[in-house]
Structure 1
Amino acid sequence: MEKRPQFLLALSAAAAAGVVAVAFVLRWVLHFREGLAWDGGPAEFNWHPVLIVIGFVVLQGIAIIVYRLPWTWQRSKLLMKFIHAGLNLLAFILAVISMVAVFDFHNFAKIPNMYSLHSWLGLAVVVLYGVQLVLGVGVYLVPVAPASWRAAFMPLHVYSGLLLFTSVIAVALMGITEKLIFGLSNPKYKDSPPEAVFVNVLGVLLVVFGGLILWIATRTSWKRPSDQVLHALHTNEGGEDNTKVGPALSQLSAGNDAESSADVRRRSNTLDDEAD
């Protein structure tokens, strides 16, 4: 991997931001709010920010960069695709549960549903995320899609994945701001009480985490090498000119798996053989 120390620094910073963000959201609902429960009250609503941060932000972020982790490069690409899909599926399930908690609370408290921009965009992101998940599994895990379909769909799959991740963070920031505006009355949000400052810091952590994940996911030099390059490295006994292998490490197949049509064709045959 090129610039491995920089990668490890970015990865460590992202992991730290993600862990601290989860700790902050738990501290928020357990200390400043009503805690966690499933009783139709405010404590049930609190599952919404907790599950969104844990699942839709942190787990989705991990899923995006899981291919970039160099200690996974000796694992088969098919296994990594299952891990990538599994993390995204878990994030989706947690997001759906968080939505159920919101609707449950609103119905119990006689609060109208789906009236704010946050709710509109939030529901849209969840639905589109589900579509992305189904299409990703159907095209890249089920060994029936033609190689030409995989190649054609890849740029859209990569772009929509990054767009949805960015949108989730934006919608989360809208949500925590909306909650503070509605939830703080004496003192009000504009007066910067401790809860407001604390949750604002949570918002900054989400942005930092998202920015680091996007940085890692978009560095070409940090992509997973193609299976052909990895095989060449594993079988090279040192008698060959390693300068021919080194540059090839820069030609990577992304954590979000952007490949040429020829690479996809070769890979699809391998995946079909492994799936049988």
Structure 2
Amino acid sequence: MNSSFVILVGLAELAGLAGMGLTITWMIKYLGGFGWDGFAKQFNVHPLMMTVGMIFINGNALMLYRVTLSLNLPRIIVKFCHLGLQLLAAGCGSIGLAAVFGYHKNIGASDLYSFHSWVGLTTFIMFGIQLLFGFLFFILFFFLLPRSENLRGRFLPIHVFFGKMILILATITTCMGIQEKAMFAMADKYKDIPVQALIAHAAGISFTIFTFIVMYIMSNDSYKAQSRRDGYHLQANST
């Protein structure tokens, strides 16, 4: 594992953690904290869970194949770890959606009233489909249809492409949501760019940097595994 790769992964993790830390600071210091009360505290669960799940955990799941190269783990184990992280991301996202839909219902507000919500729900549905098809092709087919390696090999580029696109869409959705919430929360102060706005914007920038680095790592051939055969009879450098 070369030094530039280690540095990039470290920077990605720092950016992701910074984004989550800034989001938590914004929610606790300025927006009342977290809870499941049907009101503002419940809404605050939504941005936290969506960013933790759909950006940070999801992004780490994408990088997992690169990060585990030096550990020389069997690829079936890496794939189960990848699936586990994606399931965890889906769980966080589900809690985040339940929080915001419950909040809207409790206060009598309409659902899906903004472009942020439409893009966000579309992204989450895409993530669910991606998770389902990934499980079918790379886990279930492996055990039930051991001769399906050619089919799985043809599906792999599609799976990788949509994995990248979903992370990008999740980050775009997050930035739109930050802007929307900042405008609502600081409607009478926003023109002065208060500290709260700076924290919110810094969180969005941090998540953007995290995604940018993850995309670079995923797209750089020098960080891919060398070709080797595994339980799937697929090239390790495909993912």
Please give the TM-score of this superposition, normalised by the length of structure 2.
0.92
Query: Which residue does the alignment assign to 2:84?
Result: 86
- For 1:111-152, what per-residue CA distance to the aligned partner results, in whole angstroms no more than 9, with x for missing partners? 111121111111111111000001001000112342222012
- Percent of residue pairs identical: 29
Report the AA paired with residue 144 of structure 2: V
Q: Pick closer, same or farther for the CA change 1:160–1:71 going to 2, 3 Å.
A: closer
Residue number in structure 2 paired with 1:159: 161
**Equivalent position of 1:199 in the other structure:** 200
RMSD after superposition: 1.5
Output the CA distance in 1 between the equivalents of 2:27 and 2:207.
Answer: 16
Pick aligned residue for 1:118 from 116, 123, 129 = 116
Note the C-alpha offset of 1:218: 1.1
* Partner Cα distance (1:218, 1:18) in 2: 19
1:253 is matched with which residue?
236
Letter in 1 for 2:192: D
8 Å Cα contact 1:32/1:195 also seen in 2: yes
Structure 2 equivalent of residue 269 of structure 1? none
Structure 2: how far apart are the matches of 1:178 and 1:148?
45
2:209 matched to which residue of 1?
A: 208
Letter matched to residue 144 of structure 1: L
1:1-276 equivalences under 5 Å are 1=1, 4-70=2-68, 72-142=70-140, 143-145=143-145, 146-187=148-189, 189-228=190-229, 253-254=236-237, 257-258=238-239
Distance 1:38 1:70 in 2: 37
Q: Give, in whole Å, the separation in 2 of the partners of 1:54 and 1:70.
A: 21
Distance in structure 2 (CA, Å) of the matches to 1:103 and 1:78:
37
CA shift at 1:228, angstroms?
4.2
Any gaps of 5 or more consecutive residues in structure 1? 230-251, 259-276
Taking structure 1 as reference, are residues 7 and 102 closer, same or farther at Cα in structure 2, changes over 3 Å only? same
Distance, in Å, in 1 between the alignment partners of 2:62 and 2:52 is 15
Who wins on radius of gyration, i.e. which is larger? Answer: 1
Check the 8 A contact 1:85/1:137 in 2, yes or no.
yes
TM-score w.r.t. length of structure 1 = 0.80
Q: Deviations over 1:244-263 (max 9, x none)?
A: xxxxxxxx724xx44xxxxx
Q: Tell me the CA shift for residue 79 of structure 1.
A: 0.1
CA distance in 1, matches of 2:63, 2:89: 14
Query: What letter matches 2:236 in structure 1?
Result: S
Change (3 A) 1:228 1:103: closer
- Distance in 2, Cα, partners of 1:45 & 1:174: 16
Q: Which amino acid aligns with 1:35?
A: G
Contact 1:70 1:224 (C-alpha < 8 Å) held by counterparts: no
Q: Which moved more, 1:198-207 or 1:66-75?
A: 66-75
User: Which amino acid in the other structure matches residue 181 of structure 1?
Assistant: M
| Cα distance in 2, alignment partners of residues 153 and 70 from structure 1 | 22
